[in-house]
Structure 1
Amino acid sequence: MELSQDIAKYIKSTKYEDLPQDVVSYTKLCILDYFGSAFAGSAKPPVKMIDELVREMGGESQATLITGGETSVANAALVNGAASHIVELDDIHKASIIHAATVVIPAALAIAEWKELSGKDLITAVVVGYEVSYRVGEAVSPSHYYYWHNTATCGTFGSASAVAKLLDLGEEEIIHTLGSAGTQAAGLWEFIEDGAMTKQLHPGKAAMNGVISALLAQKGFTGARKILDGDRGFFKAMSDEFQVEKITKGLGEQFKIIENSYKIHASCRHTHHAMDLMIDYKKESQISSEEIDRITVKTYQVAINITDNDDPNTEYASKFSLQYCTALALINGQGGLDQFNDQALWNDEIRSLMKRVDVQVDPEIDRLYPDKWGAVVEIQLKSGETITKQTDYPKGDPENPVTAVELLDKFMKLSHKLPEDDRELFADKVMALESLENVKDLMKATKTTHVS
C-alpha cells in the first residue's frame, strides 16, 4: 500500500467513538489554548495587515474571523492561523517540532462552521490533523528544521487532513488532498535573521493551503500520489535524513495529540528550559543580578541555531534570544505575555545581565534532542560560588505538565480584554464541545468577544 493511501485510510476510518475520553478531554484543552492565543494576537500589527488584505480581497461570508466579521473559509483560516501564532504561546510537540494548533484548528473551525458540523466532528478532525502533522514532522526532523519551519511545512499536511475528514472525502480524494498540500508546503527560517513578520504568514498559509487542497480534491482535482516518499517528493527534497516508518508505526492505535506540550512563557519554546530554571532560582534565592559574574546556558544545537542572539533590538526579536530570555526570567521572575514589551527590552538591568549570559552546545543534551528539550544552567557568582541547575523537560511538557486549571487561567489572562462573563461562558462552551450540535454556535460567541 502507498504511504499516502495508508494515511488516507487512517483519516477515513477514524471516528469520534474511537477516541478515548482522555484524548477528547485533551483535545478540548488544545482548542481552548488555541483561542487564548488567537484572541491575544488578533490586534497585533502583522495580523491587522493580513486582516486588512483579506477584507480588500473580499469573500463569501462562510466563516468567522477572530478579528471580527466573516469571510471565506480559506481567508478565515489564513487570518485565524496568523493571529494564534504571534504571541508565541501556542502549543508545541517535541518530537516533530510543530505548533499544530495554529495550523490545524483554524482550518478545521472554518470548515466546521461553514458546514454546520458538530463539536464531535470538530474534535475528531483536530485529533486527525494533529496526528498526521506530528507524524510527518517526526519523519523529517531534526534535519528538516534547519531551513524549514515545521509548523508551516509539516503542518500543511495536518490542516489538509483535518479538512478532508470534515468534508468526509473518500480515500482517493484524501490522497489527492495530501498531494496538493505537500506541493504547497513551505516556510523558511530566514525571517529570523532580521525579525521579519513572515513567521505569522507561515501558519496562516499552512491552514489556508490545507483548506484549498481538500476543497479542490472534492472537485476532482488531482495531486501527487507519492507526495511524501516519491523520488521528487517531500522527504527527499526537504530533509537530509528521514524515517518513513515514523508515519505508519502505531497509526490508528496511538493518539499523538496527548504528547502535546503547552507554553507558559511568551517566547520561543527553545528558551523555556533556561527560563524555568531562572524563575525557580529566583524563588529560591532572591538573588540580585549584581551578584552574578556569569551565566552559562548549555543546551542542544537547534536551540542555539534559533535563539543565539545577544543583542535583540525589537520586542519580537527578544522572544528569540536565549540570552535575553534567561536574563528577563531571572530578574522579573516570570515570562508571561505582559513581560515582553519595549520597556523590558531596553531595561538597563536586563540588558546588562544579558551580556553576561553565554550559550553553548552540550553534546549529551544535543544527543537526546528532540525527545528531550533540556538545558544545564551554571550561575557563577562574584563570590566564587557556582550554582548548577538542570532540566530535561520545560514546564508544559507531558513529563512536566500543566493542569487543566492552569490552562483555563492562561486562557482567561490571554483574553483579558474581554468581559469576564464572556470569557467564562466561551471557555464553558469549548469544554463541553462534544455536546455542541453546531460549531456555528461556538463561533457566534467570537462575534461578541473578539478583540479589535
Structure 2
Amino acid sequence: MSDNLTRTLAEHVCATRFDAFPSQTIHKAKLHILDTLGAAIAGSASGETGAMLEMLRLRGTAGRSPLWGLQVSADARTAALVNGVSAHAYELDDSGGCDHSGAVVLPAALAALGDLDHSFSGADLLRSVLLGYEVGRRVLEAVGGYEEHNGLGWHSTGTCGAFGAAAAVGAMLNLDSEAMASALGTACSFAGGTWAFIHNGSSAKKLHAGRAAEGGLMAAYLAKRGFEGPDSVFEADRWGSFFATFGAGRGDPTALVQDFGANWRLNRCSIKPHATCRGTHAAIDALDLLLQRHGLTAGEIAAIEVDISRFQYGMCGGKVVESRAQAQMSLPYALAARLRYGKVFLAELEEAAWSAPEIGPLLDRIAVRIDPTMKDEDEPAITIVTANGARDRLVVEFPLGGPQNPLSDERLIGKYADLAGMVLPTPKVDAIRDFVLGLEHQSDARGLLELLQ
C-alpha cells in the first residue's frame, strides 16, 4: 500500500496502547458501554429486533456470540447486526460520535469477543472500543462534519460507523498496520444509509447501526485472512474515494489523522436523557427550564414558538406522528409529550401516548419556524407564551447529557438499570453493572457475554 491517509490512520490505531487514554476517558468509556448495553437490552424487545429474529430464523444456540437480552446466540456477524439494531431501536443510545457510535462499535466488538479462543482483558476491550469511537468520529469530521455530511442525505451512523467498527474489531484481532489499512479500506464497501427514512417514520434508521457493526466486523475479519482492501478510500482526489463520493469533496481529509491522540473523540460524545432524536433535546431542556423558571403548568401555556435552522427543521421539525419512529424524530411531539406527561422517555413513545386525544391540541399550540440566520448546528430557540400573554425565550446551547452538561454518574447508571431491568432480572442487571464499571481490572472480558443473555 502507498504511504497515504489510510495507512497513516492504520498506523496510529495500531500504535495506540491502553495507557494512552487518561483515567477520565476510561471512566467515560465504561459509562458509554453501560449506557449502550442498557439501551440494547431494552431494545431486544422492540418490534425491529423481533422482525430481525424472524427474518433470520434465529432461536436457541446457533453460535458463540450472545444476542443481548435474549436466550439466543449466533455467529459473530449476525450478533453484530442484531445487537446493533437493538441498541438503536429506542433512540436511547449515545450520540456525537460517528453519530451513534455506541450502537455500532460495541455490538461489533462484543460479537468478535465471542469468537476468541483465548482470554481478552477488559483493558484491551476498552482500548478497542475507544479506538472504534475515535476512527468513526474522525471519518465524520474529515468528510465535512455532521451537518455537512448528513445534509447531503447520508446517515453518518451507517456511513462512518463501519470504519469505527472495523477499527475496533481490527484492534481486538491485533491486526498489523497493513492489515488494519485493508480493514479500513474494505469497510468503505459497507458504508451506506440515507435519511430517506425520515419522511414516513421508517424503521430503516435502526438497520443502519446494525449494518455498520456487521460490515466493520466483516472488514476486519477479512483483513485478518489476507483479504486486501482498497488503499485510497481516504484520498480526496481519487475517483471512488469515500471523501469524494460521500462528501462531494467538501471536507478536510487531514482531519482524519491530525493530532491523533491529543483529544480523544469519545470525550465529545453525549448520553441521552430523553428517548428522542438528539436534535430535540435542547428544546425539551429549554421547555423544562422555562416552566421551572416561572412555576408554570402545561395548562398555563397558550403557545410555544420554535425558531430552528433549516437543517434541524428537515431532521426533526415535522408534526406528523403516526408511528414510534416518527415520534422519536419530531421536536414538536417531544415538546407536546413534555407538556402532557412531564417527561419524554419510552412510555411517551408508545402509540397510547402519541395518539392520546390531548396531544393533537398541544401540537396545534406549537409553531415551528425556520430561521434563515441560524447555522445548521445551532440549537433551537424556544419561546413560551402564557395564557395572560407573557412571553419568554430561551436557547439551551448545551443539552443535558453532553460533555459540557453531563448527566451525573448516578443518573446515568440509574438509566441503565431501568432499561436493562425491563428484560433481565435484577441480580443480572447488577452483575453487568459491576463488571463494566470494573472493566479495566477484568482479566477476561469474555465473562461479560454470559451475563448479557
Report the identity percentage.
31
1:121 aligns with 2:129: no
1:426 aligns with 2:426: no
1:87 aligns with 2:68: no
Cα displacement (A) at 1:307? 1.0
**Whole-angstrom CA distance in 1 between matches of 2:72 and 2:283:** 41
Cα displacement (A) at 1:29? 0.6
TM-score with structure 2 setting the length:
0.93
Q: Which residue of 2 aligns with 1:440?
A: 446
**Whole-angstrom CA distance in 1 between matches of 2:348 and 2:202:** 21
- Per-residue Cα deviation, 1:91-129 (whole angstroms, up to 9, x for no partner): 111xx6611000001101111232142211110000100
Q: Is the 8 A contact 2:348 2:354 kept in 1?
A: no
Cα displacement (A) at 1:133? 0.3
Query: 280, 290, 293: which one pairs with 2:302?
Result: 293
- Per-residue Cα deviation, 1:142-163 (whole angstroms, up to 9, x for no partner): 2220211101110000000001
Q: Is the 8 A contact 1:299 1:366 kept in 2?
A: no
Q: Which residue of 2 aligns with 1:211?
A: 217
Segments of 5+ residues of structure 1 without an aligned counterpart are 448-452
Query: 403, 409, 416: which one pairs with 1:404?
Result: 409
Q: Which residue of 1 aligns with 2:107?
A: 106
Cα displacement (A) at 1:290? 4.5
Q: Which deviates more, 347-356 or 289-298?
A: 289-298
- Per-residue Cα deviation, 1:166-207 (whole angstroms, up to 9, x for no partner): 001111111111111012200111112112221121111100
> Equivalent residue of 2:282, what SS?
helix
Q: Is the 8 A contact 1:107 1:159 kept in 2?
A: yes
Query: 132, 154, 167: which one pairs with 1:148?
Result: 154
Q: Which residue of 2 aligns with 1:130?
A: 133
**Whole-angstrom CA distance in 1 between matches of 2:57 and 2:340:** 43
Q: Is the 8 A contact 2:98 2:133 kept in 1?
A: no
> Equivalent residue of 2:358, what SS?
helix
Q: Which residue of 1 aligns with 2:247?
A: 239
**Whole-angstrom CA distance in 1 between matches of 2:412 and 2:373:** 32
Cα displacement (A) at 1:365? 4.1
Q: Which residue of 1 aligns with 2:183?
A: 177
Cα displacement (A) at 1:351? 1.8
Cα displacement (A) at 1:274? 0.7
Q: Which residue of 2 aligns with 1:12?
A: 14
Q: Is the 8 A contact 1:327 1:354 kept in 2?
A: yes
TM-score with structure 1 setting the length:
0.93
Cα displacement (A) at 1:364? 5.1
Q: Which residue of 1 aligns with 2:342?
A: 333
Q: Which residue of 2 aligns with 1:392?
A: 397
**Whole-angstrom CA distance in 2 between matches of 1:89 and 1:340:** 12
CA gap 1:428/1:174 in 2 versus in 1, 3 angstroms: same
Q: Which deviates more, 275-284 or 230-239?
A: 275-284
Q: Which residue of 2 aligns with 1:383?
A: 388
Q: Which residue of 2 aligns with 1:221?
A: 227
**Whole-angstrom CA distance in 1 between matches of 2:373 and 2:168:** 37
> Equivalent residue of 2:375, what SS?
helix
Q: Which residue of 2 aligns with 1:450?
A: none
Cα displacement (A) at 1:313? 1.2
1:43 aligns with 2:45: yes
Q: Which deviates more, 47-56 or 32-41?
A: 47-56
> Equivalent residue of 1:49, what SS?
helix
CA gap 1:263/1:176 in 2 versus in 1, 3 angstroms: same
**Whole-angstrom CA distance in 2 between matches of 1:352 and 1:322:** 15
**Whole-angstrom CA distance in 1 between matches of 2:287 and 2:247:** 35
**Whole-angstrom CA distance in 2 between matches of 1:350 and 1:279:** 18
Number of residue-to-residue matches in the alignment? 441
Cα displacement (A) at 1:289? 4.1
Q: Which deviates more, 225-234 or 211-220?
A: 225-234
**RMSD (CA atoms):** 1.8
1:154 aligned partner, one-letter code: C
CA gap 1:91/1:435 in 2 versus in 1, 3 angstroms: same
Cα displacement (A) at 1:401? 0.9
Q: Is the 8 A contact 1:104 1:126 kept in 2?
A: yes
**Whole-angstrom CA distance in 2 between matches of 1:429 and 1:350:** 42
Q: Is the 8 A contact 1:323 1:355 kept in 2?
A: no
Q: Which residue of 2 aligns with 1:267?
A: 276
1:226 aligned partner, one-letter code: S
Q: Which deviates more, 311-320 or 78-87?
A: 311-320
